[in-house]
Structure 1
Amino acid sequence: MHRRRTALVLSAALVAAAPVLTACGNDAHPGAAAVVGGQRITVAQLENRVHEVREAQRAAVPDQAQYEQAIAKTGTLTRDTLHGMVLDRVLHRAAQEADVTVTRKQIQQMRSGLEQQAGGSKALETAWLQQYGIPPQRLDDNLRLQLEAQKLAAALGTDTSRPEFWKALSKASEELNVDLNPRYGSWDVQKSSRVDAKTPWLREVTAADTEQTA
C-alpha cells in the first residue's frame, strides 16, 4: 500500500497530460532541451540521462531480445526523461515557496522502508528501473522528489491527486517560465506537464535508435 502511495509524480503527470499546447520559442536557446527559470537543461545533459537508463537496462537484461523488448516498452524515454527533469525543478520551486525541505535522513528512511517491501536494495533498484525508468544512481534523487511532493501536499492540506497541489505546481511553472525545445513538445503550465507537439514529420532519434541501426 505504501509503495502505491509513493507512485511517481512524473507518472501521474504524464497520465493527466492533455494535448493543450503552449507557445515555446527555444530558437533563443541553441543546444537547450529546455530552459527552466533561466537555467538551461542541455540536450547533452538529457542524452546523458537517457544513456544512464539504457545502460542500466542493458545490465539488468543482458539477453539481446529482452533488451530490445525493454527498449520497445520505453520508446518515449527521452521525452519522459526531460519531463522528469523539468518537473523536478518545478516541484522544488513550489516546495521552497511552501518552506518544505527534505533531509538526507528522510530519504534514507523512505528507501529503507521500500527496500524491505521489495525484498532488498537490488530488488528495489530493479523495480524502479522496470516500472519507472529510473536507473539505480538516480533512485535517491527520485525518492527526494517523492518526499518533496508528499510534504508539499501536506503543507497545503491536501494530497498529490488534488487540484490544490497541482495549482501550486502550475504557479511554479509559470514563475519559472518553462520553455521546451519544440523537438520535445511543449510545457502545459496549467497541468505542469510536457505535451507532444503536433509535428508528425519530426522523429525523435535516441541513442537506442542509433545502437539498433548500427
Structure 2
Amino acid sequence: MHRRRTALVLSAVIAAAAPLLTACGNDAHPGAAAVVGGQRITIAQLDSRVNEVREAQRAAVPDDAQYEQAIAKTGTLARDTLHGMVLDRVLHRAAQDAGVSVTRKEIQQMRTGLEQQAGGSQALETAWLQQYNIPPQRLEDNLRLQLEAQKLAARLGTTTQETAFWEALSQASQKLDVDLNPRYGSWNVEKSSRVDAKTPWVREVTASATEQTA
C-alpha cells in the first residue's frame, strides 16, 4: 500500500515569511483578541475555540495522566488558536482577491482521500487533533483552508512555499488591517522575528484525493 506524504505549509515558516500581521501597541478594542477587517475576534470566541480542543482531547484521552500530558504539550494553545483564526481570514481574503473558491464537493473529495490514507474517519480526526490541535468539528474548515492555499498558489503560478504566495497573504493582511491584542503576542512587521508557537494548521496535500485512493 502506497502512502502519500504530506508537507506543512503554514507553521514556523510564518516567522521567516513575508509579514502577515501588524502589532497592536495598546488595548484599543477591549474584549477583543484581534480585529481583522474591522471584525472582532472576541476573547470569548477564542476561549470557546480553545475549549473545543480541550474537550476533544479529554474525549480522546480519558486517562487523567495522559490528559495532563496532552495539556502540557499544548500549553500555548490559546495563542496558537488565535494565530489560526486570524490567518484563516487572511488566507480567505487572499483567495477571494485572486478569484479562488472551494466547493463542498472538493472538500469531501479531500476528506475521503485522507480518511482512506489514515485508516478511517475517526483515525483522521484523531490525527488532526493530536498533530494540529484541530477538533473534529473544525476538520472540514481546515480542509477548506488547505484547498484555498493550494488553489491560490496554482492561480499565482507558484507554490505555497515561495515568495509570491506569501506576498499575496501579506497584501491581504494589509487590506484587513489586522490588529492583534498584545496579550497574545506581537510581531515585528519588518522581520516577523517572533512567533509564540508553531501553528501547522494548513497542510499541503501533495496528491489529490482521487490519486490517494488509487
TM-score normalised by structure 2 residue count: 0.83
CA distance in 2, matches of 1:82, 1:162: 24
1:42-81 equivalences in 2 (<5 Å): 42-81=42-81
Over the residues paired in the alignment, what is the CA RMSD in angstroms? Answer: 2.2
Give the conservation status (yes or no) of the 8 Å contact 1:3–1:114: no
- Residues in 1 aligned to 2:60 and 2:166: alpha-carbon distance in whole angstroms: 35
Cross-structure match for 1:204: none
Identity %: 81
Taking structure 1 as the reference length, what is the TM-score of the superposition?
0.83
2-structure distance, mates of 1:191, 1:86? 19
Unaligned runs of 5+ in 1: 197-214
**AA paired with 2:116?**
Q
Identify which of 3, 6, 13 aligns with 1:4.
Answer: 6
Partner SS for 2:6:
helix
Residues 188 and 195 in structure 1, CA contact (< 8 A), matched pair in contact too: no
Choose between structure 1 and 2 for higher RCO, CA contacts under 8 A separated by at least 6 residues. 2
Moved over 4 A (4+): 187-194
Q: Point out where structure 2 has 5 or more consecutive residues left out of the alignment.
A: 197-214
Q: Is the 8 A contact 1:24 1:182 kept in 2?
A: yes
Q: Distance in 2 between matches of 1:58 and 1:179?
A: 32
Letter in 2 for 1:17: A
Equivalent-residue separation in structure 2 for 1:26 and 1:119 (angstroms):
48
- Write out per-residue CA displacement over residues 91-142 of structure 1, whole angstroms, 9 at most, x where no aligned residue: 0000001000000000000000000000000000000000000000000000
Distance 1:72 1:128, change over 3 A: same
Aligned length: 191
1:20-169 alignment runs, 5 A limit: 22-169=22-169
CA distance in 2, matches of 1:193, 1:79: 16
Q: Relative to 1, partners in 2 of residues 1:175 and 1:145: Cα closer, same or farther, differing over 3 Å?
A: same
